[in-house]
């Protein structure tokens, strides 16, 4: 349950980080399908759809800028044309992880991202493509995983789990 949520958040965070360069590539507004694969062969690819737009990504960026208490910090961001390279450092419970992500935009209808941890432990590949208009009932920012888990990237606190699923226990 945590992996699709984490991957959805990672994908949006990586794309939103691109906007810090000041010339965020325009993406087509509507429903986007994303498939994310972890380098670990034990985990099957994760997929989901999101009602997305450039405005949604800008809102994620604005929220990220306001909240400086984030576990991940962008160390550097460069781009050449529609290829963006980002160096990130994350601190999870005192354990620091460095990673490099390379994101390539193809027109306004496709995005390919590869994230490599500095220690080589994890490689994440994510491919997103525009598939059409957002269906009735989905609003900008809604993400729906293949297992039915739904949340809005603009309001992740409102996470809706599929029937029968249990939320992770909160630690005191």
Determine the Cα–Cα distance for residues 88 and 29; give it in Å rounded to an integer: 27
pLDDT at 158 over 80: no
Smallest Cα–Cα separation from 20: which of 89, 91, 85?
Answer: 85
Query: What is the predicted pLDDT for the residue at 38?
Result: 87
pLDDT confidence band for 164 (50 / 70 / 90): low
Please report which residue ranges of the chain form alpha helices under DSSP H.
Answer: 2-18, 54-66
Question: Quick check: 95 and 76 in contact, CB under 8 A?
Answer: no
Q: Tell me whether strands 150-152 and 142-145 are parallel, antiparallel or unpaired.
A: antiparallel
104-136 pLDDT tens trace: 999 999 999 999 988 877 789 999 999 999 999
17-74 pLDDT tens trace: 444 445 567 899 999 999 999 887 678 899 999 999 988 877 776 776 677 777 888 7
Query: What is the predicted pLDDT for the residue at 170?
Result: 43
Question: Quick check: 95 and 109 in contact, CB under 8 A?
Answer: no
Q: Where are the beta strands (DSSP E) in 42-122?
A: 46-52, 72-80, 83-92, 95-106, 110-117
Question: Quick check: 19 and 58 in contact, CB under 8 A?
Answer: yes
Mean pLDDT of 89-105: 89
Smallest Cα–Cα separation from 38: which of 117, 93, 102?
Answer: 117
Question: Quick check: 168 and 147 in contact, CB under 8 A?
Answer: no
Q: Tell me whether strands 123-132 and 30-38 are parallel, antiparallel or unpaired.
A: antiparallel
State in Å, rounded, how far the first CA of the chain is from the last one: 20
Mean pLDDT of 155-167: 60
Query: What is the predicted pLDDT for the residue at 47?
Result: 93
């Amino acid at each position: 349950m945590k992996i699709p949520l984490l991957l959805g958040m990672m994908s949006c965070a990586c794309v939103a980080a691109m906007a810090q360069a000041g010339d965020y590539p325009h993406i087509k507004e509507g429903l986007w399908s994303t498939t994310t694969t972890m380098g670990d062969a034990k985990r099957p690819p994760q997929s989901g759809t999101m009602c997305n737009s450039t405005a949604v990504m800008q809102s994620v960026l604005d929220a990220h800028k306001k909240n400086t208490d984030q576990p991940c910090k962008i160390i550097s961001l460069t781009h050449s044309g529609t290829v963006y390279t980002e160096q990130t450092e994350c601190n999870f419970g005192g354990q620091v992880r460095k990673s490099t992500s390379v994101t390539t935009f193809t027109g306004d209808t496709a995005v390919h991202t590869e994230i490599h941890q500095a220690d080589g432990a994890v490689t994440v590949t994510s491919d997103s493509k525009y598939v059409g208009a957002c269906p009735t009932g989905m609003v900008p920012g809604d993400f729906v995983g293949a297992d039915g888990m739904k949340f809005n990237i603009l309001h992740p606190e409102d996470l809706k789990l599929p029937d029968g699923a249990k939320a992770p226990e909160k630690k005191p």
